[in-house]
Amino acid sequence: MRLGFHSKSKLLVTLIALATSVIPSYSNADDEDTGLSIEQDTNYRLNADEIKKPKVWGGVPVAAGAYPAIVGITQAGNKQIQCTGSLVEPDLVLTAAHCVCGGITGSVVFADREGSGTSIKVAASKHHLRSCGGALTDGADVGLLLLAQKASVIPIEIEADQVIQTATSYEVVGFGGYGLDQSGQLIAGEKRETTVPSATNDCKGLVPGSARSYASAFGCASGAEIVAGSTGLGRDTCNGDSGGPLLTGPNGSAIGLTESSLKLAGTTSRATRSAKVPCGDGGVYVRLTPEVRKWIAETGQALRQK
């Protein structure tokens, strides 16, 4: 998972216990599954060649007021942003299931950075996992937050599934870690963006030039998740970006597009199995398949009826 800690905050014992109670943000393959770096995939190399943007890990701050539907999420009684989410309806925010399981369901923050902007309390929440203690590798790491009141911000739209299937690049946005300070602490709490190349849009089939499947190599769920980024690329999502958006344009590319042209393709879940470090080596994103879209619609309705 990719829960975040502010660079000046100490790692609280309760949060450490929480982080260790579910699957870690990245894992090394076992002796029989040594992992495969994304850059060994020819599809990735072709897509990466198009990206010229500088390295939300190592990304750039968004323009003032940009991506207003991308929100920070806090725990009750705490102003620290620990997850990211997307306003998909005036009263519904889509985020990661592990954020909901972690109790990061206090308020959503509409701002460019931690400690500013406005917030709305969360009235109810639900995750899509079979259990909070289970693995995040089945393509169900999504959660939904019902707001106590409707936001005045225009929600973000979800991209057509056929566009996502052939996408070559994505824009990621979030409040998570984007570097380290002199003491080695993560610097976070600012809404940032960067572009990442697609490696696989559905985690199906074999990695080109390899006998291994995408699912085995990167630890993604076949037919349900997207892998984007690369080992050592320096463009990635990180702790605190969990639940944030994976965006693409109408032609399946995010390169050179403004936010008004980008729509939601997936949500940030975790690092790839082959990652050598927690942030910067590529990520796994839950694809907003027709099944997930149906879950969002049905769950939103159910939450409102409680």
Q: Do 220 and 95 share a structural domain?
A: no
Residues 145 and 264 in one domain: no
Name the nearest CA neighbour of 240 among 163, 174, 156: 174
| Amino acid 32: pLDDT | 35
pLDDT over threshold 70, residue 211: yes
- In this structure, is residue 6 part of a structural domain? no
Confidence of residue 132 (pLDDT cuts 50, 70, 90): very high
Please tell me whether residues 142 and 161 are part of one structural domain.
no
Residue 165: the pLDDT is 98
- 176 & 280 share domain: yes
**Is position 258 within any domain?**
yes
CA dihedral 11, 185, 266, 68 (to 10 degrees): 100
Give me the mean pLDDT over the 142-165 stretch.
98
SS3 content of the chain, % helix, strand, coil (to 5): 15, 30, 55
- The reported pLDDT for the residue numbered 53 is 33
Helix (H) or strand (E) holding 145: strand 143-147
Instruction: Write out pLDDT tens, residues 24-43.
Output: 333 333 333 333 344 444 44
Query: E strand or H helix at 294, and its extent?
Result: helix 290-305
Beta carbons of 193 and 62 less than 8 angstroms apart:
yes
Check whether residue 109 and residue 245 sit in a common domain: no
Within this chain, do residues 129 and 145 fall inside the same structural domain, yes or no?
A: yes
Q: Please write the tens of the pLDDT for every residue from 156-201.
A: 999 999 999 999 999 999 987 565 667 766 566 889 998 889 999 9
Least confident window among 63-72, 103-112, 179-188, 255-264: 179-188
Residue 3 lies in a domain: no
Kindly state whether residue 9 falls inside one of the protein's structural domains. no
What is the three-class DSSP state of 303?
A: helix
Residue 12, domain member (yes or no): no
pLDDT value at residue 33: 36
- Domains held by the chain: number: 2
Instruction: Identify which has the larger pLDDT, 168 or 279.
Output: 168
Q: 29 near 113, Cβ under 8 Å?
A: no
pLDDT of residue 234: 62
18 pLDDT above the threshold of 80: no
Average pLDDT over residues 75-99: 95
- Higher-confidence residue of 192 and 18: namely 192
Q: Are residues 245 and 280 in the same domain?
A: yes
Give the C-alpha separation, 24 to 37, whole Å.
19
Domain of 187? 24-62+157-289
pLDDT above 80: residue 51: no
Q: Tell me what the mean pLDDT of segment 83-112 comes to.
A: 96
**241 within some domain:** yes
Residues 80 and 97 in one domain: yes
Residues 132 and 238 reside in one and the same domain: no
pLDDT value at residue 280 = 54
Cα separations in angstroms, 212 against 35, 148, 191, 238, 287: 9, 47, 36, 26, 21
> How far, in Å, CA of 241 to CA of 243, rounded?
6
36 and 181 within one domain: yes
Q: Does 222 have pLDDT greater than 90?
A: yes
Which of 266, 197, 207, 171 is closest to 46 using CA atoms? 197
CATH of the domain at 162: 2.40.10.10
Which residues contact residue 60 at a Cβ distance below 8 angstroms, ignoring those fewer than 6 apart? 53, 54, 192, 193, 194
Q: What is the mean pLDDT of the chain?
A: 80
Q: What percent of the chain has pLDDT over 90?
A: 57
Is 113 domain-assigned? yes
pLDDT higher than threshold 70 for residue 290: yes
Q: Are residues 143 and 170 in the same domain?
A: no
CA gap 225, 288 in Å, rounded? 8
The pLDDT confidence band at residue 4, using thresholds 50, 70 and 90, is: very low
Q: Are residues 78 and 151 in the same domain?
A: yes
| Mean pLDDT of the region 216-241 | 81
CB-hemisphere CA count at 13 Å for 257? 20
136 lies in some domain: yes
Q: What is the pLDDT of residue 67?
A: 97
Q: pLDDT tier at 45 (50, 70, 90 boundaries)?
A: very low
